[in-house]
Amino acid sequence: MTERRGPATVRRDLNDLIRSPDGKVSEAKVGAVLFKSAMLYVFVAKVDAVLADWIILSIFVTTFVAPDLLKKVLTMKAGVPK
């Protein structure tokens, strides 16, 4: 019988989540994942308060989108390595 394993895409995706392109654990990526996880927890726990005030909602959206967007803009404009 031959072994029929599917591709290990989930494991690779999880590794890519915290590892830099050279294969080492990236402190920046780990920090970003933990920060976003904490923000998501607070959002879910306080969803009524967050959705009631547009300023708080905009802060949440900005903290989720801005870091990744800033990295992409810097890479495109200045050629800063990832």
The confidence score (pLDDT) of residue 53 equals 93
How is residue 38 written in tokens? 């904490």
5: left (phi over 0), alpha (psi -120 to 50) or beta: beta
The confidence score (pLDDT) of residue 82 equals 55
pLDDT in tens, 16-64: 888 888 888 888 888 888 888 898 999 999 999 999 999 999 988 888 8
What's the whole-number mean pLDDT along residues 67-77? Answer: 73
DSSP assignment letter at 46 = T
Contacts of residue 50, Cβ cutoff 8 Å, sequence gap at least 6:
43, 56, 57, 60
pTM here is 0.63
> For residue 73, which amino acid is it?
V
Q: Is 81 or 19 the better-scoring residue by pLDDT?
A: 19
